[in-house]
């Protein structure tokens, strides 16, 4: 009984989260530019239409 209730609650939470994300307004990415490893300049706008992964990390 408890397992069924937990499954029902989790399913409801996922449904609410997905429906809220579906109606969210999409914003464009800010202008980001950097330098590649070989010294060339690269701007995010140059990669428009291509999949991009931006990995931000720290060594704290």
Model pLDDT for residues 18-33, shown as the tens digit of each residue? 776 666 677 777 888 9
Task: Assess contact for 32 and 43: CB atoms under 8 A.
Answer: yes
pLDDT in the model for residue 28: 78
User: What is the token pair recorded at 58?
Assistant: 């720290």
pLDDT digits (tens, 9 = 90+) for 37-49: 999 999 988 988 9
The pLDDT score that the predictor gives to residue 9 is: 92
Cα dist. 42→4, 26, 34, 38, 53 in Å? Answer: 52, 24, 5, 11, 14
Q: Domain boundaries in the chain?
A: 4-46
Cα distance between the two ends of the chain: 45
The whole-angstrom separation of Cα 39 and Cα 47 is: 17
User: Average per-residue pLDDT in the chain?
Assistant: 85
């Amino acid at each position: 009984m408890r397992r069924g209730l937990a499954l029902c609650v989790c399913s409801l939470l996922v449904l609410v989260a997905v429906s809220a994300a579906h109606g969210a307004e999409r914003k464009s990415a800010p202008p980001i530019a950097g330098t590649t490893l070989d010294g060339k300049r690269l701007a995010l706008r140059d990669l428009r239409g291509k999949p991009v992964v931006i990995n931000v990390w720290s060594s704290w």
